[in-house]
Amino acid sequence: MITFVPGPHLLDSPRGRAWPAVPGTGPRGAAGPPPATARVAVVGAGPAGLAVAAALWHLGIEDVVLLDRDGRPCGRFFERVDILGQRVLRSPYEHHPGAEGHRDCELLDFARLNWSRLTPVERREIRMAQSGHRSVVPVDVFEAYCAHVAHLHHVDRNLRRAEVTAVRPAEDHVTVHGPDFALTAEHVVLCLGEERRPAPAAWWPEGVVPPGVGHWDEPVPEDARSVTVVGGGLSAAHLLANALRDGRQVHWILRASEERYQCADVNASFFRAEGRARFDGTAWEDRLALMRGHRRASVMFEFRPLLEEAEQKGQLTVHRGRAVTAIAPGRAGRTVVRLDDGGAVPADHVVLALGTTVSTGERLLPPGVVAPRDGWPDLDERTLAYRNAPRVSAVGAAACMVLGPAARNIDGHRVATARVAGAIAARLSGAPVEAERPAERTAARV
Ligand SMILES: Cc1cc2nc3c(=O)[nH]c(=O)nc-3n(C[C@H](O)[C@H](O)[C@H](O)COP(=O)(O)OP(=O)(O)OC[C@H]3O[C@@H](n4cnc5c(N)ncnc54)[C@H](O)[C@@H]3O)c2cc1C
């Protein structure tokens, strides 16, 4: 039997190419402070916020303001992938933050329009996508596409750099507060994304992170000759690959008994209706079990040859099936990771790649609104509005218990957006919005 292992060269797309604006896009506007009012305010301008704004534009709702602390579309997303040195997306060409049902220019079309700027490997991936196979999308192309979508749907004009500190829903409006502004909107969509998952408090007994410990979204010090990476996902894989490329001695601490290699981090069925149907009206415990089973850390196949070769050569030591119990300063300025088998791994620098936690809106909304159950917000399944604040809705990872694990990914945002933007447009036009029937809600939550 031949095992299919795609080549590591797929990971090496160039970054930082110049992309011309696509004809037909409108004028760019100057960003200022947030206005006092808007029909819709979108908090967070990552891929989710971008999808929401694009969909609202197609529905004729133009008085939309996006508020993001980074002040540029998908700023945090590209900051994170660039710090990891990630050159290609994990999601294929079909997954993009354009508007569902409006084929103005999808990611694949955009890449084809820029054919002359692509490498032969990238062109081959486009052909793979065209013939229905798995494809690898360059981050460079995706960034240019996001800029295109933002420009086309007036997102760059409507985006304000602003930190939102509170969202206060009322009967007929919602007020969004920042340190120096207050904006009143008829509807608010929270597209907050995910935060870095903190390490268990027990890892450092004094409650203070020891020196020599960093996180996946922080740079690794250049003078570190040895690096320990903790975690089993794609961020860990990038950190390992970077450290190996730089000639460092590397340890990999993996709680699972072996590495998991797979193309996508979510089973492909969850991007389709039949996968989402597994969440539709299903008992809460069953959804929790699905989420647990389908959000396990894994690494793109392309890393496999590199990591296996480094292990054989002795540059990489993999501690499989080992859990971290503590991290503490060691001798000669090194940092020691202690393992549950009594082992100790010293290195110049330790990087924690422990994944992310979902932003549910709890930090912004008043107590009692989010009403989390097992950490997930209480959302209306048809409109993704908070049941306790119907003028505020959520798109992104917060919607996982309604739409399944793909809600965290770029394509899931489009599906969530179609529900949210449709419901908001209906409300703004005065049409009644079909809410969940109480009996169904009970059935879904028993
Ligand atoms: C390294 C990495 C690679 C990934 N690769 C892929 C991939 O290839 N394909 C895929 O489908 N998914 C991928 N993901 C998952 C990815 O995070 C999501 O698909 C996508 O970024 C989520 O978009 P989002 O808009 O929900 O969140 P984000 O991209 O995190 O955007 C949220 C935005 O909201 C802003 N924000 C949050 N709170 C506030 C506040 N209070 N005030 C103002 N602004 C605020 C943040 O600053 C941020 O800009 C990857 C994730 C990571 C970390």
Rounded to whole angstroms, the Cα distance separating 220 from 223 reads 9
Measuring from each residue's beta carbon to the nearest atom of ligand 1, which residues come in under 6 Å?
43-49, 67-70, 75-77, 80-81, 84, 86, 89-91, 95, 163-164, 191-193, 235, 396, 408-410
Task: Tell me the two tokens of residue 105.
Answer: 């220019």
Task: Tell me the two tokens of residue 68.
Answer: 């993001």
DSSP-H helix ranges across 345-407: 400-403
State the CB neighbour count (10 A cutoff) for residue 317.
Answer: 14
Residue nearest to atom 1 of ligand 1 (CA): 81
Task: Tell me the two tokens of residue 445.
Answer: 């939550």
Q: Which backbone phi and psi does 369 adopt, to 5 degrees?
A: -75, -45
> Helices then strands (H, E): number in the chain?
13, 18
pLDDT for 22: 64
Pick from 269, 241, 208, 220: nearest CA to 83: 220
Separation in Å, CA 89 to CA 33, 104, 134, 148, 351: 33, 22, 12, 18, 22
Mean pLDDT, range 150-170, rounded to an integer: 94
Residue nearest to atom 3 of ligand 1 (CA): 81
**Burial class for 189, CB neighbours closer than 10 Å (0-12, 13-18, 19+):** buried
Residue 334 Cα to ligand 1 midpoint, Å, equals 33
Q: What single-letter DSSP state applies at residue 82?
A: H
Pick from 294, 82, 342, 238: nearest CA to 286: 294
Q: For ligand 1, what atom is nearest to the CA of residue 356?
A: 53
pLDDT for 302: 92
| Of 10, 77, 91, best ligand 1 pocket probe by most atoms within 8 Å of the beta carbon | 77
CATH of 201-262+298-354, picked from 3.50.50.60, 3.40.47.10, 3.40.50.2300, 2.40.10.10, is 3.50.50.60
pLDDT band at 445 (very low <50, low <70, confident <90, very high): very low
* pLDDT single digits (tens) 39-59: 999 999 999 999 999 999 999
Q: For ligand 1, what atom is nearest to the CA of residue 75?
A: 49
Beta strands in 119-193 (DSSP E): 159-161, 166-169, 174-178, 181-190
Residues of the chain within CATH 3.50.50.60 domain(s) are 8-196+357-445, 201-262+298-354
Q: Are 317 and 251 in contact (CB under 8 A)?
A: yes
* pLDDT single digits (tens) 1-22: 455 567 778 898 999 998 887 6
* pLDDT single digits (tens) 376-405: 999 999 999 999 999 999 999 999 999 999
* pLDDT single digits (tens) 181-239: 999 999 999 999 999 999 998 999 777 888 999 999 999 999 999 999 999 999 999 99
Residue nearest to atom 29 of ligand 1 (CA): 46
The topology under which CATH files domain 8-196+357-445 is FAD/NAD(P)-binding domain (3.50.50)
What is the reported pTM?
A: 0.93
Report the share of the chain in percent with pLDDT over 90: 74
**In this model, does residue 276 exceed pLDDT 80?**
yes
Residue 31 Cα to ligand 1 midpoint, Å, equals 22
Residue 412 Cα to ligand 1 midpoint, Å, equals 12
Rounded to whole angstroms, the Cα distance separating 204 from 331 reads 17
Residue 33 Cα to ligand 1 midpoint, Å, equals 23
* pLDDT single digits (tens) 329-385: 999 899 999 999 999 999 999 999 999 999 999 999 999 999 999 999 999 999 999
Residue 78 Cα to ligand 1 midpoint, Å, equals 9
Q: Which amino acid is present at 352?
A: L
Mean pLDDT, range 262-273, rounded to an integer: 84
Q: Are 376 and 401 in contact (CB under 8 A)?
A: yes
